[in-house]
Amino acid sequence: MKAVLIGESSGASMDELMAVYPRHKKVSEDFIAKGVILGMGPFADRGNMAIFKTRKDAEDFAKVDPFILEGLVKSYVIRDWNDSLLPE
């Protein structure tokens, strides 16, 4: 079962986001290189989501993502997801 991490924007400015973005990008690239992120990106309201192979992968990401750790993501939820189009 895959997992989706959905983050709610803190309302941070674009300048605040871009100051942290290089560190967030590095963490994201590390998880992508491990093959555990299947997709990720922002919503129009600056919230975001990422799809992971497993819940543990999503939890591990949340523990180290600078956007979360530095308060640019106000809150997040991890939801288990049964992807019916692309089964595991």
CA distance 20 to 4: 22
Give pLDDT, residue 83. Answer: 86
Give the other-Cβ count within 10 Å of 62's Cβ.
19
Domain map (residue ranges) of the chain: 2-81
Q: Please state the pTM of the whole predicted model.
A: 0.91
Give pLDDT, residue 55. Answer: 97
Please answer whether residues 61 and 6 qualify as being in contact, where contact means their C-beta atoms are separated by less than 8 angstroms: no
Give pLDDT, residue 87. Answer: 60
Give pLDDT, residue 84. Answer: 82
Hey, what CATH topology would domain 2-81 get?
A: Alpha-Beta Plaits (3.30.70)
CA distance 57 to 37: 8
Q: Which residues contact 74 (CB under 8 A, 6 or more apart)?
A: 7, 8, 9, 10, 11
Give pLDDT, residue 17. Answer: 93
Could you list the pLDDT tens digit for every one of the 88 residues in the chain?
999 999 999 999 999 999 999 999 999 999 999 999 999 999 988 899 999 999 999 999 999 999 999 999 999 999 999 988 766 5
Return the sign of the alpha-carbon dihedral for residues 23, 81, 76, 13. positive
